[in-house]
Amino acid sequence: MGQNQGFPPGTAYIDGAYRPMSEAKISVLDWGFLRSDATYDVVHVWKSRFFRLDRHIDRFLRSIDKLRMTLPVDREELTEILRQCVLRSGLRDAYVEMILTRGHSPDFSRDPRDAVNNFIAFAIPFGWIANEDQRRRGISMAIAETRRIPVDSVDPTVKNYHWLDLVAGMFEAYDRGAENVVLTDLAGTITEGPGFNIFAVRNGKPTTAGRGVLEGITRQTAIELCAELQIPVNIGTLTADALRGADEVFITSTAGGIMPVTRLDGAPIGDGAPGPLTARLTALYWAKHEDPDWTTPVGEP
């Protein structure tokens, strides 16, 4: 399939058919567009193997249930659609997204119960939160003054597109010369950043927020890898002072795995270089991409 300029190579599944990314379009009346009434999940493929596919599908199905939506395909069909998107794209390393929007009702009712939910999936080239240089030296980050949407308003464990607070924080970070941002909640404690969870390591022990965050699959993977290394993880409250005073900091995301943060609000974290635990976890994380217990082959057409 040919690709129009301005669209990445890849394949989408929309309206029951596979299409090049340039032809993957939704109605302007879809509530996913008009009201951000949608949920999604992203699994990555590395060297033609899905990483933790079952975990991502489990979370996607939980999110759909919490939003009172109905997926028009079963789990087996969903898995096959994701597989076909990758195969048809010809990609060995891919970012694979599954989306369910509220859709819209045939008679344009404003009642969300009348809407016909809309399923979309696509595979495009694998993308990184941090570029190669940032992954080598560590990311420069800022703590935003913009606060994260309260959990009493939007459940952060449902992966969603409510990103205006995160985008505002990103602009704050750029204005202050930083490369990325993390937001606090209304009480001033650390939550998460745009597309990632964050960990602070002190005396060899990591801490990550237990509330107000998406329970990231890579976050959970990092926790499991720590357990494998017999390192306890504190899942609870992470204060801004604890983040600033950490020996090392790292972020976790499907878009890049485990990545170091070495500057915060203009000051170095620890000695200003990626820390030893971050390095150990990063190496173990990528090694797991060859482990059949953690991966699923894309397979043959």
Domains of the chain: 11-125 (3.30.470.10), 132-289 (3.20.10.10)
Residues written for the chain: 301
**3-class SS of residue 199:** strand
**DSSP-assigned letters across all residues of 223-246:** HHHHHHTT---EEE--BHHHHHT-
Q: Are 145 and 168 in contact (CB under 8 A)?
A: no
- Neighbouring CB atoms inside 10 A of 214's CB total 19
72 CB contacts (<8 Å, ≥6 apart)?
Answer: 117, 119
What is the reported pLDDT for 6? 82
Distance CA 79, CA 123 (A): 13
What is the reported pLDDT for 220? 97
Q: What share of the chain is helix, strand, coil (3-state, %, to 5)?
A: 30, 30, 40
Tell me the two tokens of residue 9.
């190579």
Distance CA 289, CA 301 (A): 22
Distance CA 60, CA 38 (A): 11
CA 15 to chain centre: 25
Distance CA 84, CA 236 (A): 40
H runs (alpha helix) in the chain: 31-34, 53-66, 75-89, 132-137, 164-175, 217-228, 240-244, 276-287
Query: pLDDT tens, position by position, for the chain (301 residues)?
Result: 444 568 889 999 999 999 999 999 999 999 999 999 999 999 999 999 999 999 999 999 999 999 999 999 999 999 999 999 999 999 999 999 999 999 999 998 999 999 999 999 999 999 999 999 999 999 999 999 999 999 999 999 999 999 999 999 999 999 999 999 999 999 999 999 999 999 999 999 999 999 999 999 999 999 999 999 999 999 999 999 999 999 999 999 999 999 999 999 999 999 999 999 999 999 999 999 999 999 999 987 6
Distance CA 100, CA 159 (A): 11
Q: What residue type is 41 in one-letter code?
A: D
Tell me the two tokens of residue 55.
């975990």
152 CB contacts (<8 Å, ≥6 apart)?
Answer: none
What is the reported pLDDT for 4? 59
Provide the β-strand partners of residue 250.
Answer: 199, 260
Provide the β-strand partners of residue 201.
Answer: 206, 248
What is the reported pLDDT for 224? 98
Tell me the two tokens of residue 102.
């509220």
Q: Are 234 and 228 in contact (CB under 8 A)?
A: no
Backbone angles phi, psi at 265, to 5 degrees: 50, 40
Distance CA 94, CA 99 (A): 16
